[in-house]
């Protein structure tokens, strides 16, 4: 048989996909599995966005779109960046991609050479490190432990930067922890970056509108305008507007970087769904009341999940500022045995045992670069969350 590419030898399948697939196998056997493993809003896409996509199709907007996105959507993104983030981007400093993930891949492929390093605060979204490796770069993690609120400290960032550093990734509110940086905390990171002009900064702001208890989101190019000419501001409609399947991501950044990224995209996938782009325009320019309403529902879910998990023996759960994840510490459950006879030595053991015995799917923290934790998504309905947390409580009570 012909050989596969060696570049895949060190690329792992996403842990969320692994756990989701195992959950589906168990569900297929007749068990009622509650999945808290995937970060996908349970809400419907806005009706006005759906209608806009439908009308675009009826108008015949089903041909190949421009490589960098339609002018209409780029103008909507331009307005969004100014409205929400106080950022002014020219149209040739904006591009549209097939989801936020392709934005990131375009940036890495357009800038990285073998030996370049990509700094990734940990815990981190599992794809960051794998994408860096695919782009021939070396991922370098910076630990952001719970006693720092899962946030990146300036001194740790400064110590991690080397002449080989090509990118710093920032993702606050964060997947998997929900941690978010205040303006003062972001300013302190910016002060470090001003000392290192060879470093690009990618800020993944997908969860910007999912912040709670009066917390105010900020993005680094706004906090420190002197960095703007080397910041790529990444966003999309998936999380804010519950439009994951429409696959619309976008970004703003320096003209030369955007041009390189458009070149990459033109060879990999070409333009993004024209119908999806029409729907995204409606979402960005349409009524925003639903965004705030959903954020309040997420806040209530967060509080319930954190409170219930903290009642489970052996679990300690931090209350995050944003996103729709919690990242509970399961250290108190290690070294014990489940009712089903499973020895729990790692967070992966815990996640697998909870899935197979309590039928609740989570993801082990080691997949995100930090143990012993699990990631729980509360982007599902409240009744299912309550039932899942009750099952986890009972599972933990059964450990001995």
Pair 312, 338: CB distance under 8 Å: no
Residues 174 and 302 occupy one common structural domain: no
The Cα–Cα gap between 315 and 219 comes to: 32
CATH number at residue 267: 3.40.640.10
Q: Are residues 264 and 372 in the same domain?
A: no
What confidence tens digit (pLDDT) does each residue in 106-158 have?
A: 999 999 999 999 999 999 999 999 999 999 999 999 999 999 999 999 999 99
d(CA 207, CA 1): 44
Say whether both 32 and 64 belong to one domain: no
Last residue of one domain, picked from the residues 285, 301, 319:
285
Query: 340: how many CB neighbours lie within 10 A of its CB?
Result: 11
Q: Three-state SS for 103?
A: helix
How far apart CA 171 and CA 124 sit, in angstroms, is 8
Report DSSP state, residue 5: P
Spans in the chain with pLDDT lower than 70: none
CATH number of 20's domain: 3.90.1150.10
Pairwise CA distance, residues 391 & 355, whole Å: 10
Using a pLDDT cut of 70, give the percent of the chain over it: 100
Based on the domain organization, do 338 and 250 belong to the same domain? no
Burial class (CB in 10 A: 0-12, 13-18, 19+), 329: buried
pTM over 0.75: yes
Give the model confidence (pLDDT) of 50-92 as tens digits: 999 999 999 999 999 999 999 999 999 999 999 999 999 999 9
Task: Give phi and psi for 60, each to the nearest 5.
Answer: 90, 15
Give the C-alpha separation, 167 to 162, whole Å.
Answer: 11
Q: What is the pLDDT of residue 71?
A: 98
pLDDT recorded at residue 336:
98
pLDDT of residue 6: 86
Last residue of a domain, one of 265, 285, 305: 285
The answer to whether 365 touches 371, Cβ cutoff 8 Å, is yes
Residue 76 and residue 173 in one domain: yes
Cα–Cα dist 285/387, whole Å: 37
SS3 102: helix
The CA angle 111-14-363, to the nearest 5 degrees, is 130
Q: Which of 236, 255, 285 is the last residue of a domain?
A: 285
User: Which secondary structure element, helix H or strand E, spans residue 202, and what is its range?
Assistant: strand 200-204
107: containing domain: 47-285
The number of folded domains in the chain is 2
pLDDT for the residue 170: 98
In angstroms, the CA 151 to CA 322 distance is 13
- Give the strand order in the sheet containing 138-143: 94-97, 249-252, 231-236, 200-204, 165-170, 117-122, 138-143
Do strands 231-236 and 325-326 pair parallel, antiparallel, or not at all (unpaired)? unpaired
Same domain, 324 and 204: no
């Amino acid at each position: 048989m012909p050989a596969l590419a060696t570049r895949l030898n060190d690329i792992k399948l996403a842990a969320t996909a692994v756990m989701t697939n195992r959950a589906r196998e168990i569900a297929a056997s007749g068990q009622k599995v509650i999945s808290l493993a995937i970060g996908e809003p349970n809400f419907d896409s806005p009706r006005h966005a759906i209608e806009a996509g439908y009308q675009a199709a009826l108008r015949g907007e089903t041909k190949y779109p421009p490589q960098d996105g339609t002018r209409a959507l780029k103008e909507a993104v331009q307005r969004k960046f100014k409205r929400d983030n106080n950022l002014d981007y020219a149209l040739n400093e904006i591009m549209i991609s097939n989801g936020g993930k392709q934005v990131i891949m375009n940036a890495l492929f357009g800038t990285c050479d073998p030996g370049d390093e990509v700094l990734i605060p940990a815990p981190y979204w599992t794809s960051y490190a794998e994408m860096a490796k695919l782009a021939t770069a070396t991922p370098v993690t910076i630990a952001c432990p719970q006693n720092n609120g899962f946030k990146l400290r300036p001194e740790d960032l400064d110590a991690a930067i080397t002449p080989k550093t090509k990118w710093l990734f920032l993702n606050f509110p964060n997947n998997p922890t929900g941690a978010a940086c205040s303006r003062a905390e972001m300013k302190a990171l910016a002060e470090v970056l001003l000392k290192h002009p060879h470093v690009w900064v990618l800020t993944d702001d997908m969860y910007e509108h999912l912040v709670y208890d009066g917390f105010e989101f900020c993005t680094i190019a706004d906090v420190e305008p002197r960095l703007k000419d080397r910041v790529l501001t990444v966003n999309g409609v998936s999380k804010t507007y519950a439009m994951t399947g429409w696959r619309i991501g976008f970004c703003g950044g320096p003209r030369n970087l955007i041009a390189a990224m458009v070149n990459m995209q033109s060879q990999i996938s070409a333009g993004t769904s024209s119908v999806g782009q029409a729907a995204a325009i409606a979402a960005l320019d349409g009524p925003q009341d639903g965004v705030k309403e959903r954020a309040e529902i997420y806040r209530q879910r967060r509080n319930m999940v954190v409170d219930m998990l903290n009642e489970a023996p052996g679990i300690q759960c931090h209350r995050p500022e944003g996103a729709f994840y919690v990242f509970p510490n399961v250290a108190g459950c290690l070294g014990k045995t489940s009712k089903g006879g499973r020895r729990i030595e790692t967070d992966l053991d815990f996640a697998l045992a909870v899935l197979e015995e309590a039928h609740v799917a989570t993801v082990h923290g080691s997949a995100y670069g930090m143990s012993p934790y699990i990631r729980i998504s509360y982007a599902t309905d409240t009744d299912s969350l309550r039932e899942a947390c009750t099952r986890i409580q009972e599972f933990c009570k059964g450990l001995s």
